Amino acid sequence: MWPARQGGRPDRATSAGIVKRSGATAAMSVTRTGIEPSISDAEEIHAACWFSLEQVKEHPEVTQVMAQLEEPCSSSGRKERSEWRGSTYHAPGRLLAALWREAPHPVSTSMSTMAFYDQLAPFYHLIYADWNASIGRQAGALDTIIKEYWPDSIKTVLDVACGIGTQALGLAQLGYTVTGSDLSSAAIDVAQREAAARGFSLDLSVADMRVAYLHHQKQFDLVIACDNSVSHLLTDAELLQAFQQFYACTRPGGGCLISVRDYEQEDRTGIQVKPYGIRTEGQTRYVPFQVWEFRPDGRMYDLTMYLIEDRGGASCDTHVMRTQYYAVEIGRLMSLLMQAGFQEVQRLDDRLFQPVILGRRPEG
């Protein structure tokens, strides 16, 4: 049993979804316009992907892929065979990774988010008054939560929104085996350099959290997504898709931990300005601030990050980065986590710089 809940009340929800407790095949129809999930029953969780005939013929490893498809599946001993379905080609999940590298990104909205963080990556640390100190503080807070709710059982951690490493680096320094992925390749490059500067390496890669299991193809003791990263998913359907992938990445008995902004405490009308203060590095002064512009219903908003870079001359450089957020309420996120299959979902306040939501994948 977990310790008594500290605040929060989950909405009633079902546990149906793409990845069920009994196991299911998560099939992704990949085209140049995006991803559409479908569901089919199976004895085990494995991924499948459809690529256009044109894409497959152009793929440099297609001959090897087709040969491997005739080999027995290592997990069940049955054969997985290639299938041509009109203009599409069916590839089992164990070969997905090679093909996925050549596929388009899932949904057009992710491109905006990717571009935002690619541009922000060199400056992301300036959001914090002292990024290195924040790494240590957040790692300590997360470690306390982990040991309280999963005593002595969490060794491996998957950070599906690792960014430049704010949580991943600190947890790795505390002895956790951390795997990280992020939509932004520029952020991953920064995280790799930061890990090397600290004398260790991290298993990092570029991936959208909505295809976390399709990408990593393994399970972890704990899956985390911090810094309000899930709110970049702009619909409940996208959030549920991501949470189902988190669930598939979580071993039985393991858990999920996300940190999010409490939008019920925000003014969700008109235009809001969010300053960060002044940052100084060497002879350069930076002034970062955000502008939030809410839609009339208060559920979506456009975020513009401005970063003024002043080197002491007669003019300044201004970097402008734009993205979108879904001002989703924490109760709704908890409901969606339960729909994805997580149990004992609860909210923790005053444990991290944002509210934390926890969920456990049941044993068996």
**Cβ-contact 363, 253 below 8 angstroms:** yes
* pLDDT of 294 strictly over 50: yes
C-alpha distances in Å from residue 335, one per residue of 24, 236, 328, 332: 21, 10, 11, 5
| 267-326: CATH topology | N-terminal domain of TfIIb (2.20.25)
> What's the CA gap between 252 and 339, in Å, rounded?
16
Q: Give the model's confidence band at 148: pLDDT under 50 very low, under 70 low, under 90 confident, else very high.
A: very high
pLDDT at position 259 is: 98
pTM of full prediction above 0.85: no
- Per-domain residue ranges of the chain: 24-100, 108-263+327-360, 267-326
Q: How many CB atoms lie within 10 A of CB 357?
A: 24
Q: What is the 3-state secondary structure (H, E, C) of 133-201?
A: HHHHHHHHHHHHHHHHHCCCCCCEEEECCCCCCCCHHHHHHCCCEEEEEECCHHHHHHHHHHHHHCCCC
What percentage of the chain exceeds 70 in pLDDT? Answer: 70
Mean model confidence pLDDT for the chain: 79
Residue reference for tokens 């509210």:
355
Task: List pLDDT tens digits, range 11-42.
Answer: 333 222 222 223 332 333 333 233 333 333 23
* pLDDT of 267 strictly over 80: yes
* pLDDT of 110 strictly over 90: no
> What's the CA gap between 290 and 307, in Å, rounded?
9
Q: Which CATH superfamily is domain 108-263+327-360 in?
A: Vaccinia Virus protein VP39 (3.40.50.150)
Lowest-confidence segment of 38-42, 224-228, 237-241, 329-333 by average pLDDT: 38-42
Task: List pLDDT tens digits, range 311-362.
Answer: 999 999 999 999 999 999 999 999 999 999 999 999 999 999 999 999 999 9
**Once rounded to an integer, what is the mean pLDDT over residues 151-165?**
96
**Once rounded to an integer, what is the mean pLDDT over residues 52-73?**
44
pLDDT at position 180 is: 98
